[in-house]
Structure 1
Amino acid sequence: MSDTIVAARRLCLVGASGLVGAAVIEESIRRPDVRIIGVARREVPLPAGARLEILVGGTGEWPTLIEAAHGDVLVCALGTTRKAAGSDEAFRAVDHDLVLETARAAREAGIDRMILVSSVGADAESTNLYLRTKGEVEKALGELGFARLDILRPGLLRGRRIEDRPLEMAGQVIAPLADLLVFHARLRRFRSIAAVRLAQVILALSGEEAPGIFVHEHDSMAAVLR
């Protein structure tokens, strides 16, 4: 009796050059059940042993590249900061507009599952630009007709970034101690999480097919890996 060969899931990854995207690529090395096809504006440094494709082009070309990826799941780890972007408008152009453009392109390419890296505290009614933008994106994505949409709301991400984020770096130093002090269920969602851990959650969820919209905060993400 011959063994059945199961095709690897194809994950179309946008945001491959960031902290989470890099962690997803790193973790995929040990996962023969997944294949990463990255879509990026520039070449992405790859770890030793990585087996994936990076399709490079300007954001205007992304719809064509996303279609060429023939993905089963769209993984969106796009994100910047107000400071890095330089203005409110430039920040929203990435964290809102580009995310939605990418998702629409994925739907047009026939991809019916998506995993979004959002943020703890995301709220379309928030007075905070960052959290309001994240909340608005989540709401808009829910209306695009994905068969399954997983929204991840991590707290502070721990890991080494390429770009300089002084406040975030300081937070990473304090985070492990602060996490020990957060026991109440309502506050545990604010706990930090290592980028590698979040990547493991993403890869695990990429194999889920039950339809619906699922929002994952700290405890839910921990349960995914149990």
Structure 2
Amino acid sequence: MKKTAIILGASGLTGGLLLDLLINDDRYESIKLFSRSKLEGLPSKVTQFIGDLLELKQFKNDFTGDQVFCCIGTTKSKTPDKDLYKKIDHGIPVSAAKLAKANGIETFLVISALGADAKSSVFYNKTKGEMERDVLKQDIKKTFILQPSLIGGDRKESRTLEAIGKDVFIVIQPFFFGKLKKYKSTDPKNMAKAMINLANSTSYSEVVITSDDIKRITINN
């Protein structure tokens, strides 16, 4: 039976790559996008629901399908206000998980970050950790939390500090082996492929998928 996928964050780097893959994947007959603005030039198998994702519950009746892919995330430079930052990085994924649970969706995947820890004193890590904790509280049958290190690739917006960070990572990554492998930067295309592989797999029992496993899952499927 063909599936219906829900994507949040399809306008972002990883979400956009994920959308392209799902469009060309014959296992999916329908893709639902929930976003603030409309994407142009999409095929008929894609339906878009436009509105304020901070009020995601308004879409409850339309939030139906087989799998949810949550690629929502912001940055300090884009969202310096901590309250708004938390509403986006914590509030939207948790609201999506609650809707998925309420509507009987049994597969939920969300992008978090390496170092996520609800008890951390670092705001970013703490926010991601609290998001993971509250998503898991929904007890969705098949939940996967992806924890990439720095995500590679080119984004539409300019992120000077992040670009510098990527350059540094390119230089030092050859020294990442053993326990340090998980700190290697993550290819966004690998991330998108891994999410689809996990969503359609019956063999993965791990809930938290770190960056070193993301590439392995992509290669082995």
Whether the TM-score (by the shorter chain) exceeds 0.5 is yes
Counterpart of 1:39 (choices 34, 38, 41) is: 34
Unaligned 5+ segments in structure 1 are: 1-5
Work out the number of aligned pairs and report it.
Answer: 218
1:98 aligns with 2:67: no
Q: Is the 8 A contact 1:27 1:196 kept in 2?
A: no
> 1:46-61 residue pairs with structure 2 within 5 A?
46=41, 51-59=45-53
1:26-72 Cα offsets, whole Å, 9 max, x none, are 2223321134211111112457x684222212236633535424211
Who is 1:74 aligned against?
Answer: 68
SS, match of residue 110 in structure 2: strand
SS, match of residue 78 in structure 2: helix
Pair 104,121 (structure 1): closer, same or farther in 2 beyond 3 Å: same
CA distance in 1, matches of 2:84, 2:45: 33
Q: Shift of residue 75 of structure 1?
A: 0.8
Question: Which AA in structure 1 matches 2:6?
Answer: C
Question: Which AA in structure 2 matches 1:181?
Answer: F
Pair 152,187 (structure 1): closer, same or farther in 2 beyond 3 Å: same
Per mean C-alpha deviation after superposition, the further-off stretch among 142-151 and 59-68 is 59-68
1:146-170 Cα offsets, whole Å, 9 max, x none, are 0011000001111121222211122
Alignment root-mean-square deviation, CA: 2.2
Q: TM-score, normalised by structure 2?
A: 0.89
CA distance in 1, matches of 2:92, 2:139: 18
Q: TM-score, normalised by structure 1?
A: 0.87
Unaligned 5+ segments in structure 2 are: none
